[in-house]
Structure 1
Amino acid sequence: MLYITIISVLAALLFLTRLFFIKREIKRVTMQLNQFNHKQTEKKVDLAFFETDLEKLASEINRQIDSTMQAQAEKQRTENELKQAIANISHDIRTPMTSILGYIQLLESADIDPEQRTEYTTIVKKGALRLKVLLEDFFELSVIESADYPLNIESIKLNQIVPEVLVGFYEAFYQRGLEPIIHLPEEEVIIKADVSAVKRVIENLLSNALKHSTGNVIICLEKRRSSVELTISNPAGCLTEKDLFFLFDRFYKADQTRIGKGTGLGLSIAKGLMKKMNGNLTAELQEEHLMMKCEWKI
């Protein structure tokens, strides 16, 4: 009987001791969380007393801390991007708007000859068209990024769509004195995608290549074992690896001297459309050639 009593007392002491350490550790964890929540520290929760359930709890808390810090970093990045976008929009709108208003004042003058009036009217028209393109691109990008953007995913023949889009760029290539080098397979290349979205992606990539290329543009369509790849490449000697990191950001222009040469939204729109179609758009720099690669999984 005495033996049982002693064992019971020891068990009770062991239980109370364990309970004491667990409660103390819970208080310690609570204090660490309080410091984290009040931004006094960014350190994760650590334990001084190790117990299976406490370790699981600490692990889940630390996982939540990681998620919270990641969300905060993403929020900060988005806010910075939004501020930059607003600044760029303001600049891109202000520049042609100032020009338009200035030339309208000149047109209101009574002592200008018909030739000058025609010239000023042409300048005003170009400025208005640039504003139209900017606003349309910005609206399209905002729509694409919405969760309910409609897509009609179906089986389409990519080796037929690429030439259709290229025909529309014949005049642009001719005016630049450039020749598209086209590599298309004879066999049918079928992907699951939205026809209009695919055409828009190709148009944006070709437009970007035409604006910035210092040589001929190469269009290559390949059917691989598990994917289809469309690559549009062009010489881009002024481009750096650093530029590739920002290339798909809104309003980013690698050559900041090209004022009025585009909104800087074309590649962002293409990237967004590819993502919506469960595809991927990447950029590589190989031997001073910019390679834009669209990939669809088969």
Structure 2
Amino acid sequence: MLGIIIGLSVICLVLAITLLLIIIDIRRINRELIYINHVETNAGVTTNTNFPLVRKLAAGINDNLNATRQLRLEQIAQEKKIHQMLLNLTHDIKTPLTVATGYVQLLNRDPHADAKQSLARVAHNLRSVNYYLHYLMDFNLIQEKSTALKLKPINLSKLLETELFDYFDQLTASGMKVTPKIAPNLVL
């Protein structure tokens, strides 16, 4: 009987020590995670024990940390691309605007000059500016709406009529005759 009690006591002691080691390792992993989440680092979590369950936990956490870091790097690269695109777009808007301003200044200096050709150039450059501004406004709208995108039905007929109306002057100025035939109340 004494042998059974001693055997059970040894088993309880081994289980208690094992549990204590696991608790210590999990607390350490938790401290490492707190540090990793508050400091920009490439570190991962480590374990001092050879318990398979704790090792699998640490490996899973490290896989998650690596995936999160990769996503963050991709996000930074995407933000750089967007910044470069905005710089290019700003330049594309600024150039025709500067040219148009120059033509207007030339016309103001020499009121007897043939203004028709210069005015045509000014109009062309202002149309370019208008095009890029529409592009920029659409981009900004997409950026704003993408964070909280909620899909809902849209009256495609009304949208098309509105867009055609917005560009009607430009289309007719370029010699296009627009006679839209839009099905009423087409909803998507």
Query: Shared fold by TM > 0.5?
Result: yes
Q: Superposition RMSD on alpha carbons, in Å?
A: 2.8
Counterpart code for 1:95:
T
The 1:18/1:72 distance shift into structure 2, 3 A limit, reads same
Q: Judging changes above 3 Å, is the alpha-carbon distance between structure 1 residues 108 and 76 closer, same or farther for their aligned structure 2 residues? A: same
State the shift of 1:91 in Å: 1.2
Name the one with the larger helix percent.
2
State the AA in 2 paired with 1:126. Answer: H
Quick one: structure 1 residues 6 and 40, their matched pair in 2 at CA, closer, same or farther if it must change by over 3 Å? Answer: farther
Show the counterpart of 1:128: 126
- The SS at the match of 1:72 is helix
Letter in 2 for 1:19: L
The alpha-carbon deviation at position 95 of structure 1 amounts to 1.0
TM-score (norm 2): 0.66
Please tell me whether Structure 1 or Structure 2 has the larger radius of gyration of its CA atoms.
Answer: 2
Deviation at 1:65? 0.8
Map 1:106-185 to 2 at 5 A: 106-113=106-113, 115=114, 117-140=115-138, 146=146, 147=149, 148=151
Work out the CA distance in 1 between the residues paired with 2:126 and 2:17. Answer: 79
Q: How far apart, CA to CA, are the structure 2 residues paired with 1:97 and 1:122?
A: 14
Aligned partner letter, 1:46: T
One-letter amino acid matched to 1:2: L
Q: What is the alpha-carbon distance in structure 2 between the residues aligned to residue 138 and residue 95 of structure 1? A: 15
CA 1:20–1:37 in structure 2 vs 1: closer, same or farther (change >3 Å)?
Answer: same
- Aligned AA (2:13): L
For residue 85 of structure 2, what is the aligned residue in structure 1?
85
- Structure 1 residue 2: Cα displacement: 0.5
Q: How far apart in 1 are the matches of 2:27 and 2:9? A: 27
Distance in 1 (CA, whole Å) between partners of 2:100 and 2:50 is 72
| 1:111-130 superposed Cα distances (whole Å, 9 cap, x missing partner) | 332x2x11211210111121
Q: Percent identity?
A: 28
Residues 124-157 of structure 1, C-alpha deviations (whole Å, 9 max, x = no match): 0111121122233344556678554989xxxxxx
Label 1:86 to 1:141 Cα distance change in 2 as closer, same or farther (>3 A).
closer
SS in 2 for 1:112: coil
Does the aligned pair in 2 maintain the 1:103–1:124 contact within 8 Å? yes
- In the alignment, structure 1 segments of 5+ residues that lack a partner are 152-298
Q: C-alpha offsets along residues 165-221 of structure 1, whole Å, 9 cap, x if unaligned?
A: xxxxxxxxxxxxxxxxxxxxxxxxxxxxxxxxxxxxxxxxxxxxxxxxxxxxxxxxx
> Which residue in the other structure is 1:26 paired with?
26
Distance 1:93 1:149, change over 3 A: farther
Structure 2: runs of 5 or more not aligned: 155-188
The CA distance in 2 between the partners of 1:94 and 1:138, in whole Å, is 13
* Count of residues in correspondence between the two structures: 150
- Opposite residue 90 of structure 1, the aligned amino acid is T
Alignment TM-score, normalising by the size of structure 1: 0.44
Cα pair 1:143 1:149 within 8 Å, conserved? no
CA drift of 1:93 comes to 1.3
Structure 1 or 2: more strand by fraction: 1
Q: Take 1:144 and 1:94, find their aligned partners in 2: how far apart are those partners?
A: 22
The 1-side partners of 2:112 and 2:44 are apart by 73
CA contact (8 A) 1:45 1:62 kept: yes
Distance in structure 2 (CA, Å) of the matches to 1:94 and 1:82: 18
Counterparts of 1:140 and 1:55, CA distance in 2: 50
Report the CA distance shift for 1:140/1:38 in structure 2 as closer, same or farther (over 3 A): closer
Secondary structure class of the residue paired with 1:108 = helix
Q: How far 1:64 sits from its partner (Å)? A: 2.4
Deviations 1:8-46 (Å, cap 9, x if unpaired)? Answer: 110111012102211221132123223322326312223
